Amino acid sequence: MRNRRTLRTRTPLLAAAGAALAALALTACDNGTGTKDEGAARHTPSASASGTSAANQPSADANAQQGATGSTAQGTQTSAGAHRATGGSGTQGTHASGGTGGSKGSGNASDPENRVLCNGSNTKVTAQVLSRPLNHMMLTVKNTGSKYCDLTYYPVLRFDGMQWAPGADESTKPQAVTTLAPGESGYAGVLLSAADGSGDGGQTGHKLTVYFQGMTPNSDGGATANVTLPAKGVYYDSSLKVTYWQQDASDIASW
Task: Between 55 and 139, name the one with better pLDDT.
Answer: 139
Identify any residues that bridge with 210 across adjacent strands, giving them in sequence order.
157, 225
How far apart (Å, rounded) are the C-alpha atoms in residues 175 and 250? 16
- pLDDT tens, residue by residue, 187-246: 999 999 998 888 999 999 999 999 999 999 999 999 999 999 999 999 999 999 999 999
Predicted confidence (pLDDT) per residue in 126-181, tens digit:
999 998 889 999 999 999 999 999 999 999 999 998 999 999 999 999 999 999 99
Domain boundaries, the chain: 112-252
Q: What is the Cα–Cα distance from 192 to 202, expressed in whole angstroms? A: 10
What's this model's pTM, rounded to 2 decimal places?
0.59
pLDDT digits (tens, 9 = 90+) for 13-33: 444 444 444 443 434 444 443
Q: Average pLDDT for residues 33-48, to the nearest whole number? A: 39
The mean-pLDDT minimum among 85-94, 99-108, 217-226 falls in: 85-94
Task: Please report how the helices 39-55 and 57-77 are oriented relative to each other, as an axis angle in degrees rounded to 10.
Answer: 40
